[in-house]
Amino acid sequence: MLYVWSWFVRVVHWMLVVAFTVAFLNSRSAWTLDTHILAGYSAGILMVARIIWGLTMKGYCNFSRFPFQPKEGLIYAWKTLTGQPKRYIGHNPAGSLVIYGMLTVGLLTVATGVLVNNDAYLPWASSYTLHDIHRFCSWSWLALVITHISGVVMESVLHKENLIATMFTGVKQRHLDRKHKAEPVKGG
């Protein structure tokens, strides 16, 4: 077994799942606006904390371990669709693209939400435009979350390992079988 995800990464991950879900489900009603706002601010704080952790800590959580590489991500996605992906201990190239997308769109969602909530004035955008941008960002974030979940399920099936359990325990098997060779283990 190999310890891959620290307690911090796992706790932030699941707290972000809760914050996103609560914010998204409480976005339609003035009755639940306070809950929506609190969950949105919580999501923003969690994402900033994860980014700081990803820039400063060592191991699989560090962004240098899963760089932003669109070409490699698309190649990996194609290999996954054709049933021939290489197994990665940390994030695979396609997964890293989705993670960077979720962090970027998530922070845009929170930022536009803060602007909408505080009746911000921007010379190029009315309050209705800001609200529309906020809604677009939140739905885009949901699309990325669905992509992330789909990728986790697909990887779990293709490599015959439970990646959801890994996000609870923090550990993965070092080797699974000869058919799916893992990336080389490079420390941490």
Q: Is residue 36 within 8 Å of 81, Cβ to Cβ?
A: no
Count the Cβ atoms, other than its own, within 10 Å of residue 70. 12
Residue-averaged pLDDT of the chain: 89
Burial class (CB in 10 A: 0-12, 13-18, 19+), 186: exposed
Please state the pTM of the whole predicted model: 0.86
Per-residue pLDDT at 83 exceeds 90: no
Q: Does the pLDDT of residue 124 top 90, yes or no?
A: no
Mean pLDDT for 96-108 is: 97
Distance between CA 136 and CA 89 in Å, rounded? 33
pLDDT at 184 over 70: no
**Angle, nearest 10°, between helix axes 33-56 and 93-117?**
140
Domain 2-172 has CATH 2.30.30: no
Name the residue ranges covered by the structural domains of the chain.
2-172
Write out the DSSP string of 118-179: TT--BTTB-HHHHHHHHHHHHHHHHHHHHHHHHHHHHHHHHHT--HHHHHHH-EE-S---SS
